[in-house]
Each structure stands twice: as C-alpha cells, then as structure tokens.
Chains A and B, each alone.
Chain A
C-alpha cells in the first residue's frame, strides 16, 4: 500500500496551493517590497534597505495614524461588547416584542458598509443632518461630528458600535441560552444575590463568547477602511487616518508602494503580536465547559 502515502498530500494540495499563493506568497512579496522604493509601474525597484521603516517611524503623521487606530479599536470593542452585553441581558426573554427588537438591532449587520457610511454621512451632516436637528429640538447645541478633528474619530466609533452591536448581541444571547439552567437553580437554592450570580455564573459561562467577540472585534476594527474611505478620507487634519487607510493612501494615491508595504509589515507585526497574546494569555482565563 505504498500509494496511500502520497494520497493525503494529494487531497490537501488544492487547499495548500491556494493558501500558499494567496496568503503566504503575498506576505513575502510585501516584505520584499518594503525594502524597496517603487512607484508600481517603473521596471526598476530601488533597494533602500530599512529606509522606508526609518521614514515611517520618524513621520509624526504615521505615529498619529497608529494612535488613531489603537484608540478606534479600543473604544469600538469596549463599547460594542459592553452595550451588547446589556442589550442581550435585556433581550434574552420570550415574546414577540423581544424577538422583533433582536431582529431590528441585528439589521445593521447585514447592510453593506458603504450604504451605512452614506447613511451616517447624512445623519451626521453638521448643518442639515438628522442628528443635529434632533439636538436642536431638545435645545442642545449643534455638534460638528465628522467635520471637526476633535469629534470625527468619536463619530466613526459611534458608527462602528452601531454596526457591531446587533451581531454581538446575537452571539451573546446564544451564549446565555446555552448556560445550563441547573446552575441558576442551585444558586437560587443558595440565595445567591443577582450580581454574584452574574459574576460567578453568567460571566464565566459567557467567557468563550466574549473571548470570540473580542478577537473578532479587535481584528475587524484594526483593519477599518470602508467608512474612513467614504466618510472622512482620513481627515480632518489626519484625525481619522487609520493604518489600513494610510497604507491605501500611500500605495494607491501617492503610489509609494515600498513605503506602503513597510506600513503593511508593521500592521502584520501588530496583528501577529495580538494573536499570540490572545492564545497565550487570554485563552487561559476563558472557561470552556
């Protein structure tokens, strides 16, 4: 049965080839490009060694971009998960009203991000927007939302949270419903107060779901692109420029492929570190049944 030896390799070959061609090769090509100066078209790529990285790290704009990305990611994930948690505890009940609201909060998740961006641009318009109109009805002052460097990033975070919350709620509700009832019954027998019940039963039993959402949330937020590209183009004053948009802008608007690739390598490093962190540190604290 010698033929059996190659058989498994043969069967996994298509997957491996796709993986190599579409995932591994581009990573190496990007690393290769990051050491060069190239405008995408010219036949010769000039080798510049670590020059691109030096330029990047000494560029105050790039440091701002990193800061924006981290702020955006942190607050988006924080608010998405905590609001979704509240929402799911509230919605985890029987009845048509609750299922209707569940469906309603989920709907943003299935709308294309481009439409969401257009919609919020209109809602957040400083002069003619819905949000400011509502504020003016209540007698509050207008907020410049997307047009002021101090509020633009927060506005984008609001949009992201709005989009995430439905999906997150759904996952958490599924997590809540899979918690065995007998745990709560035992707690009731012991007369455990509600907050303790939450801290000792609900939260630990939910931790796999929350862990999953944290991963999804962070990875999703770090690569935010569509809303930035459509709504703010990284402005005003660079206040909403994030890593992936910065890479796009340098690569495909200014045609500095080497420089953009160097930023791509940095993104790769950040994502690798985060992924390692999850599995080394966070996963130990997660309670799996």
Chain B
C-alpha cells in the first residue's frame, strides 16, 4: 500500500502546492506592486532545456540581460530535455508557480496555447511595433509561432537537421561530399563507404529525420484537416529507403531508448566508424570539437532531395505563461525581446551552432566572419529556405511514440512491409487524436 503513495503523494503535493500558490497569488497581488516600486528589481524565472554548450549559452545571455539593466532580474533554471521541461512546466502551472518565461519545443506550441498555459503575444508586438520588426525573423522559422493567427512564441534556439560528414573518410574512398544531391546519391555514397569496419551512416530512429524524408518524398505527416497522413505514398517511400539501406547494411540503426540510441549513433560517427550522421545544427560546435579530437575533418551538407528538397525545423520558441500581473508580463516581454534580438541570436548561433533566427543577424559582421572561418555553419542557414513547420496537433507526442515504435519494429525485422507497419501505426494513432 505504501508503494502506491509515490504517485498519490505526488498528486496531493500538487494539490497542496496549488492551494498555497493560489492564496499567495491572490493575497500578495496588492503588495507585490509596492514591493517592486520600493527598491528591488522585478524577479522573473526562466526555464530552459539542454545542458552543455546550450546551457552555457542560456546562462550567459541571462547574465548579460541582468547586467545590462537593474529593473528586472531573471533567474535561469535548467530543466532537462524538452519532454522533461514540458511536463515540469505543466505540473508547475497546475501548482500555480510556473516560470514567467519558458521554452516550448516547436511542435508543442499549439497544445500549450490551446490549453491556456501560454500568453497570446500579438498585443505586445503591436504595441512595440517600432522596436521589434517581425519581418526580420526568418520566415522559414515562423511556421510554429502562430495558433489561430495569434502569435504565441518567438523563435529562439532554432535548428534544422543537417548531414554531418567525415571528410577524411570520404576522401579515402574517393567520394565528393558535394556530389550528394539526391536520395540515389546519398544511397550510393553510403554504399561506397561501407566495408567490414565502416558503415555509411549511423542513425537513430528519430521522428525528426523521418519527417524530413517524408516531406522530401512529397508526403506529409498530418494533413491539413489534422488527420494522420504518414501512411500515404510519401511516408511509405521514405521508410522503404531506410529499410533498403538497413537490409543492404549501409545504414546502422542503434536500438534502445531514444536518447541512448542517439548517443550510440553519435559515438559511431565520432569514432570514425560511420561516415555520415544526421543531427541538429545545434550540435555543430560539439561535433567540430569531437572531429578534432579524433583526428578527422568535418564537413556538413544539406539533406538530399527526392521529389523536392525539404527539412523540418526544430528547436524551441520562447513563450510567456498566462496568469501574470501586468508588471510581470512587461518584464517577461522585455526579456523575450532581448533574448530574440539580432545581437543575441548571433551570439547564440556562434556559441552553439543554432540558426540565427533574424535575417539581419545573418548579415551581421559576427556571423559573416564566422561563415568565412567555419563554412560548416553556413549550410544550415542556406538550407533554411527549404525549412518547414512541424505538425502541432494535440496528441502528437503520443503519435510520435507509436510511430517510432512501429518503425523500430521494422528496423529489427526488415522482412516486414513498410506500408503495413505504417498502416498499423496510423490505426493506433487514430485513437489518440480522435
């Protein structure tokens, strides 16, 4: 019986916290004004996902913001992966102590907006029209910002997947990375790279890459009516490509828990066992470092095209939570504006490899110098003209889980038919989105 209390206590703690949170909010709304008028700055909290370089970047930018002015003080807090960040935000919101500013992984913008957790930012932008130029945000990144024509998030640390290439290995095998334009080029390059000790590419089963290939094949994950469409022609074609490559032994797909599988693929590439690797542009700084440590040259190229060239975008948008008083809202807005301004986006891009989300930032001296010095950074920006939004329907995380599971089933047993596996996933998903 006591064992059950784990969950139960969690539930009750949330209830108790909710009760405390509410009374605090109602009780102190009167004096919180006078408090901040007095002396101390307005305190707001900002939650972010991912550590390492990305975490440092967040901490550094927040520090810059705190030093630049003394009216607002931001406390940045690390919350793990996107999934963890989301569930913590949701639990904290239910408990009445959500952070004022947080990140939404772009596919979850709609879910958060529709459940009333994130603030409609349209009015803030209109009020500040002369200060913030919405046209300066890269249009390829704006697809996941609006819900029902209202703005809910501004592009912050945004990415696209790119193809990382072990240039040294390519040269040994006499392949020119630039020659990889189509799926056939990609497939034959993988074939040429594969021998007893090497494999063409190591790739975890990741929804992002699948989204990319489906779009390249001219298909879609979810159609405009919000219905599952990945079991259409494009989806089957994309999965068939993977299946063929796995069967031919030119693609290695590590199994296991998703983050662990991603780690294994990265190790394969870092240690020179795999010639190619898909990953977010956000990993570029880290991958350059790993390549140097392991003594090979790193190059990046765009995803190959089939029917068309297309890549999903990814990363996080900055959002403001609802239920804040006006003062906190203004403070949160100031902070969001700062974090997404051209200068900061250039800083973040250089620090991590994330995309500069502002067009003017791409033109800035900082970025131009960087592209000159490290051309690997430019690929993602060039590729952005083919960037697409990610599906945002409610229940998508669960659909993703089901789909990944079914694709893994095929990867473990390539004798299955891609079409059957996808139909099965679509059928199971239909119950989820209803």
Contacts and interface: CB of A to CB of B under 8 A. Distances in A.
B260 interface: yes
Contacts of A288: none
A25 to B, nearest CB: 6
Contacts of A21: 12
Contacts of A223: 3-4, 6
B4 A40 contact: no
Interface of A: 21-23, 25-27, 29-30, 39-42, 121, 125-128, 144, 146-149, 219-220, 222-223, 225, 231-233, 235-238, 244, 247-248, 252-255, 264, 267-268, 271-272, 275
A41 B90 contact: yes
B412 A148 contact: yes
B9 A29 contact: no
A24 to B, nearest CB: 9
Nearest to A268: B4
Given A252-B91, A253-B87, A271 B4 contact: yes
Contacts of A232: 256-257
Contacts of B22: none
B33 interface: no
B255 interface: yes
Nearest to A28: B8
Interface string B312-348: 0000000000000000000000000000000000000
25 contacts: A23-B8, A29-B11, A30-B7, A30-B8, A40-B90, A41-B115, A126-B255, A147-B260, A219-B3, A220-B3, A232-B256, A232-B257, A233-B258, A235-B256, A235-B257, A235-B258, A236-B257, A236-B408, A236-B412, A237-B405, A247-B7, A252-B90, A253-B83, A268-B4, A272-B1
Given A231-B257, A235-B256, A41 B405 contact: no
Contacts of A127: 254, 264, 267-268
Interface residues of B, number: 39
B65 interface: no
A26 B408 contact: no
Contact of B7 (A40, A121, A244): A244
Given A30-B8, A40-B94, A41-B115, A236 B267 contact: no
Interface of B: 1-9, 11-12, 15, 83, 86-87, 90-91, 93-94, 115-117, 254-258, 260-261, 264, 267-268, 395, 397-398, 405, 408-409, 412
Contacts of B93: 41
Given A267-B4, A272-B1, 6 more contacts: A26-B5, A41-B94, A42-B116, A220-B3, A236-B408, A237-B405
Report the 8 A-B pairs with minimum CB-CB distance, sorted nearest first: A147-B255, A26-B8, A147-B256, A223-B3, A26-B12, A252-B87, A233-B257, A41-B115
Contacts of B261: 147
A268 B8 CA distance: 11
A237 B4 contact: no
B8 A27 contact: yes
Contact of B254 (A26, A147, A222, A247): A147
Contact of A225 (B6, B397, B409): B6
Chain B binding surface, main DSSP class: helix
Nearest to B271: A128
A42 B115 contact: yes
Nearest to B83: A253
Contacts of A219: 2-3
A188 B2 CA distance: 44
Contacts of A255: 90
Contacts of B255: 126, 144, 147-148, 236
A223 B409 CA distance: 27
Contacts of B5: 22-23, 26
Contacts of A144: 255
Nearest to A272: B1
B3 A235 contact: no
B405 A29 contact: no
Nearest to A23: B5
A244 B8 CA distance: 12
Nearest to B90: A40
Given A29-B15, A237-B409, A244 B6 contact: yes
Contacts of A39: 115
Given A127-B264, A268-B4, A41 B117 contact: yes
A123 to B, nearest CB: 13
